[in-house]
Amino acid sequence: MTYNSDKELLLKNKVNLGKNALTVLQKRYLKKDEDGNVIETPEDLFYRVAENIAQADKIYENDADLDPLIKDFYLAMTSLDFLPNSPTLMNAGRHLQQLSACFVLPIDDSMDSIFETLKNTALIHKSGGGTGFSFSKLRPNKDEVKTTSGVSSGPISFMQVFNAATEAIKQGGTRRGANMGMLRVDHPDILEFITCKDKNDSLNNFNISVAITKEFMDALEKDSDYNLYNPRNGEVRGALTAKSVFNKIIDQAWKNGEPGVVFIDRINDENPTPSIGSIESTNPCGEQPLLPYESCNLGSINLGHFTKNGTVDWEKLETTINTAVHFLDNVIDMNNYPMEKIGKITRSNRKIGLGVMGWADLLLHLSIPYGSKESLSLAEKLMNFIQAKSYKSSEKLAIKRGAFSNFEKSVYAKGPLMRNATTTTIAPTGTIGIISSASGGIEPLFALVYKRTQCLDNEEMYEVNPYFEKIAKENGFYSSKLIAKIAEKGSIHGFEEIPEKIRKIFVTSHDITPEDHVKMQAVFQKFTDNAVSKTVNFPNSATKEDVKKVFVLSYKMGCKGVTVYRDGSRDVQVLNLANKKEESLPIREVKPRTRPTKTTGFTFLMHTGCGKMYVTINEDDRGPCEVFTRLGKSGACTSSQAEAIGRLISLALRSGVNQNEIINKLKGIRCPSPAFAKGGAILSCADGIAKAIEAYNKEKMAPELFEQKITDTKQYEDKHQKKQYTSNPKDNLTGACPQCPECGEMLTFAEGCVVCNGCGYSKCF
């Protein structure tokens, strides 16, 4: 069979993609022409990637027949049994050719190092990667700076510089920049670091984690003090009580999910190349510890596809592992690294991270409850199998191609040859999980049913887990009334109309105890070279003591880190369950005056972080009587929230509420994406509406802020269409909305980030 005819046959094998998967691919992955039109099919994408990655075999075997390998790679991806990380899908076979998702860059205690790293960060973000940093080598706040006879500003101030730079960089229009910021628990500025994200509008491009040392954990167990060290000279710079610092971490994690904790000494105890350097940080989601200037490419096997006759299809799984390890090793050679220094150390250690997604799906197919003893036993057997087979695949590649360059300096030196210093990592699998229609990583299902509001017409819809829907219909208990009740509660526990055996199997995140969350993470970590991305979800009612138990247990059970999230603890509620209606308190009835058939007014243009917002204020013979808003083209939840504010203001105005009271309540409200116009900052849509009313009320326009009072919106757009004052609204996430600002779908929370299951939008806080 010729190469071209083989391609034609493969491309006829259509990928079975869901609606959300197609949306994600079209928005973020498929090639587009200069006008933004999609010019690539999903099949074209997977063939492009397979063909490109297979070329690496030519490096080791000049006359290699690539057709069978291309076919293997293509079928592994189009069957959705295995997918590599997003940069590989986006960039392989295209001009950029940057294929890695994870990078760690060093920051040493000098201005040269800090801003050299900042420049390198920009290059990585531009190419679609995420970056991790340890700020632990920077001297503390108010420490001496001999060169200037001044004092230092400390690591937090430089984190803010990196955060601002990330905000200004768009990752090629496909992925937003994301950072991990770490500080050792023995750094003198640790208390300031723990609270640096106390407000949800600060350091929004960073996840933060405290690097916990063995010395600290020993002091915590003994309820004693531990030393702080000045990184400038290594001298002791005071001491703190371990318990008080630990409680501070717990307080903040309980409050808004950050910081997470990383057990940095444990990570270095398992560093495969300790003679090459120490691990200081991880990638943004915490699952990939890396040496300075090291990168790693990840990929995940969709476990929901590996069942046969009511059990795991081990034979198919082994075949897919072999294909995936070969694929990921080839990526290292085909990668166009943002910096040669990164390419050099990556090729020297050749770390790959094969992980899993669809773990919750697999358990459902096997009728095993998530968190049960049976599920933990299967997790241990499964991950042991994946790691052992990935080692065997790496060994086979090493025999053909040679071991990684630093093999003789590694912990493997006395054993069989290894092609890769690490082979396994468990990542969150946000967008590739959407493409595969798979549950994320090793997470349980968040909910079986959740509510979605079509913001343009305010119609409520319910998204139902397809497997639960199938079982419910087969067993005769499916009804729209039941679905609404499940959405309200968020779980099927207690629903007597559902058979008990089904209630036991279809558990959700909040049905599982925090301890069982940790046990699941620990079992997978036992057979994972790198680390495991896993969020321990708490109900809103969880106490700080609950968080403390999880942190302690995760350390005792051998985890390399842990992240917690208490439902509703952020300004952005990330997945919307239908809330129970609260009983109304009695209030004095106020009847608003009737709106006249004709009003007159003005329209103001406000430049907000969500785009251009037009605020129209109309008046009747008694003064202002209504406010309308129109928010650019952002659609979805953002527009509906602005419209809702306008309607409520209109109701208040016609009910006699003083304008100044309205202004005072709205002005100053801040969202994570303020905008800066000529006259100053517009902190949020609500703040912009308040400032428009304020300008109207004073009857004296502020031209440096509003530019012009107009009565015709179209007139203003025509006149100023070339002026740009704000960033793209699609890059912003409003603090009050639990839905995606692009498409209105629900957002899910994992590892300090939110991801949209509808279009793939993501943002780290």
Which residues are annotated as catalytic?
A: 283, 285, 287
**Which has the closest alpha carbon to 100: 281, 366, 294, 318?**
294
Cα distance between residue 48 and residue 665, in whole Å: 54
Cα distance between residue 462 and residue 111, in whole Å: 53
Q: Please tell me the number of Cα atoms within 13 Å of 175 on its side-chain side.
A: 28
Both tokens of 52, joined, read 């490109």
Cα distance between residue 553 and residue 563, in whole Å: 12
Cα distance between residue 360 and residue 437, in whole Å: 12
Residue identified by tokens 């603890």 is 569
Within 10 Å of residue 180's Cβ, how many Cβ atoms?
27
CA-to-CA separations, 29 to 88, 413, 462, in angstroms, rounded: 10, 40, 28
Q: What are the DSSP calls for 582-608, one per residue?
A: PPPPP----PPPPPPS--EEEEEEEEE
**Which has the closest alpha carbon to 662: 639, 691, 620, 701?**
691
Burial zone of 599 (CB within 10 Å; 0-12 exposed, 13-18 middle, 19+ buried): middle
Cα distance between residue 310 and residue 103, in whole Å: 40
The reply to whether omega before 231 is within 30° of 0 (cis) is no
**Which has the closest alpha carbon to 197: 562, 570, 552?**
570
Beta strands (DSSP E) in 223-345 are 225-229, 236-241, 260-263, 281-282, 289-290, 295-302, 307-308, 311-312
Burial zone of 458 (CB within 10 Å; 0-12 exposed, 13-18 middle, 19+ buried): exposed
Which residues is 35 bridged to in the sheet?
none
Which residues is 763 bridged to in the sheet?
754
Residue 761 φ then ψ, to 5°? -55, 140
Longest dimension (CA), the chain: 90
H helix or E strand, kind and range, residue 299:
strand 295-302
Length of the chain: 765
Beta strands (DSSP E) in 55-111 are 82-84, 102-104
Burial zone of 170 (CB within 10 Å; 0-12 exposed, 13-18 middle, 19+ buried): middle
**Sign of the dihedral defined by the CA atoms of residues 430, 435, 440, 441, in that order:** negative
**Sign of the dihedral defined by the CA atoms of residues 381, 384, 390, 396, in that order:** negative
